[in-house]
């Protein structure tokens, strides 16, 4: 008796998943616990383990996105049972063709082929065989109308489109002579980031302010920690100092650590700092971003913050993290400092529902006047993006001033 395998719900926030790659072929005999597929959710990619032993029949093609609980494969006890599953799948796809042939037989007048409709950005639902046929014939599936269940493009649609000419061939040359290098599926993490950033801009009153902080003394103070790296067990990063500066600013301006929930502004007592971590994409042209969260850091020292931050980054990049590691932020730190070109400035988009995002950039050496003399100093461009629904200009500026004072007077970080 065959056993159905559905898209698993691997996290509380997971509602759907996309098959990025089947690591087994149709009909392979797999052992329980073997890795059979890679799937992508809104936040991260997972490896799927076989929950049973048997001959595996693939139901869901690569690239398809379905809700949790949707059938994606089946385990057969024997090769005979596998053959029955494959036959049933083949008949399911071919069944409507007989009805179509009947309709064509009773039709007495020719019907013009429908004009192809391009479905830009939409998810193309097609059977594996249809995709293979279209690829072999260099045909563009996005110009085909599917007649299978739920509008699925099946074999007969590809053959009909090729025969009638009601389809366009794939071409590396786009409009105005543009030559395409790659097409990246707009799904999973990339789509989630786009949706959340768009929602952030549409649903909040965002404003960004800029300044420069002289971090010459801060870098000197950091060197004292670096010199004790072996003893401390970590090479304390500038990010640890920035997080301490955020804590310092929130203690003086608590409204910076808040969010809007319905008709209430919620000010948080604990400080949970979210920070961006870049992740490798599915190709050389793709990338993704996760925002892990350091929880309850309001009373931690620089060394402990640094240790916890690096441990969290390692878990995220290795895929060994939990849903809690990505939720619960009360304020956000952008981490482009050191990556962007010197002097870079930007207007980072808020990370909902946080009211404030601190955006440091790459430090740059500049001449400055100190005690009447021109001397070289290291200045860090800074920005704060805040939700003007929650913070007015006065508290926002006071928060910036507190962070600025802390960065320019690193002894305040030791308190």
Q: Is 291 exposed, middle or buried (0-12, 13-18, 19+ CB in 10 A)?
A: buried
Do residues 141 and 134 lie in contact, with contact meaning Cβ atoms separated by under 8 Å? Answer: yes
Q: Give the Cα separation of 356 and 350 in Å (integer).
A: 7
The pair of structure tokens assigned to 180 is: 């395409």
Do residues 79 and 9 lie in contact, with contact meaning Cβ atoms separated by under 8 Å? Answer: no
DSSP conformational letter for 169: B
Contacts (Cβ under 8 Å, ≥6 apart) of 78: 55
Q: Give the Cα separation of 41 and 7 in Å (integer).
A: 11
Q: Give the Cα separation of 35 and 16 in Å (integer).
A: 19
DSSP conformational letter for 350: P
Q: What angle do CA 80, 83, 85 make, to 5 degrees?
A: 115
Q: To which residue do tokens 């059979």 refer? A: 36
Give me the torsion for CA of 181, 187, 192, 198, rounded to 10°. 60
| Active-site entry in 136, 214, 388, 404 | 388
Q: Cβ of 333: how many Cβ atoms within 10 Å?
A: 25
Q: Give the Cα separation of 107 and 336 in Å (integer).
A: 65
| Residue 353, preceding peptide bond in cis (omega within 30° of 0) | yes
29 is catalytic: no
Give me the torsion for CA of 88, 89, 90, 96, rounded to 10°. 90
| Active-site entry in 4, 47, 324, 392 | 392
57 is catalytic: no
Catalytic residues: 388, 392
């Amino acid at each position: 008796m065959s056993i159905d395998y559905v898209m698993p719900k691997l996290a509380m926030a997971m509602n759907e998943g996309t098959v990025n790659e089947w690591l087994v072929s149709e009909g392979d005999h797999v052992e329980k616990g073997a890795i059979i597929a890679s799937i992508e959710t809104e936040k991260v990619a997972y490896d799927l383990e076989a929950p049973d032993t048997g001959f595996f029949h693939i139901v869901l093609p690569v690239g398809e996105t379905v809700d949790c609980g949707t059938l994606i494969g089946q385990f057969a006890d024997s090769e005979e049972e596998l053959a029955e599953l494959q036959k049933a799948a083949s008949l399911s796809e071919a069944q409507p063709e007989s009805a179509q042939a009947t309709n064509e037989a009773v039709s007495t007048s020719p019907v013009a082929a429908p004009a192809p409709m391009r479905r830009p950005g939409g998810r193309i639902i097609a059977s594996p065989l249809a995709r293979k046929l279209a690829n072999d014939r260099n045909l563009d599936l996005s110009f085909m109308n599917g007649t299978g269940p739920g509008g699925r493009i099946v074999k007969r649609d590809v053959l009909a489109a090729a025969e009638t000419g009601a389809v366009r061939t794939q071409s590396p040359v786009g409009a105005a002579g543009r030559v395409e290098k790659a097409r990246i599926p707009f799904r999973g993490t990339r789509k989630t980031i786009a949706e959340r950033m768009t929602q952030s801009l549409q649903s909040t009153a965002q404003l960004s302010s800029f300044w420069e902080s002289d971090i010459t003394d801060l870098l000197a103070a950091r060197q004292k920690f670096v010199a004790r790296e072996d003893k401390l067990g970590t090479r304390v990063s500038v990010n640890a100092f920035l997080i301490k500066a955020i804590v310092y600013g929130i203690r003086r301006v608590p409204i910076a650590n808040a969010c809007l929930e319905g008709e209430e502004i919620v000010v948080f007592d604990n400080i949970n700092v979210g920070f961006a971590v870049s992740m490798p994409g599915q190709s050389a042209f793709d990338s993704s971003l996760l925002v892990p969260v350091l929880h309850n850091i309001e009373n931690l020292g620089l060394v402990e913050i640094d240790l916890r931050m690096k441990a969290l980054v390692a878990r995220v990049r290795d895929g060994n993290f939990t849903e809690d590691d990505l939720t619960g932020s009360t304020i956000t730190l952008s981490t482009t400092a050191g990556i962007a070109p010197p002097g870079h400035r930007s207007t980072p988009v808020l990370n909902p529902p946080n009211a404030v995002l601190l955006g440091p950039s790459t430090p740059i050496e500049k001449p400055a006047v100190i005690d009447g003399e021109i001397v070289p100093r290291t200045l860090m461009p800074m920005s704060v993006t805040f939700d003007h629904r929650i913070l007015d200009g006065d508290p926002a500026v006071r928060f910036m001033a507190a962070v600025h004072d802390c960065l320019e007077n690193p002894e305040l970080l030791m308190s």
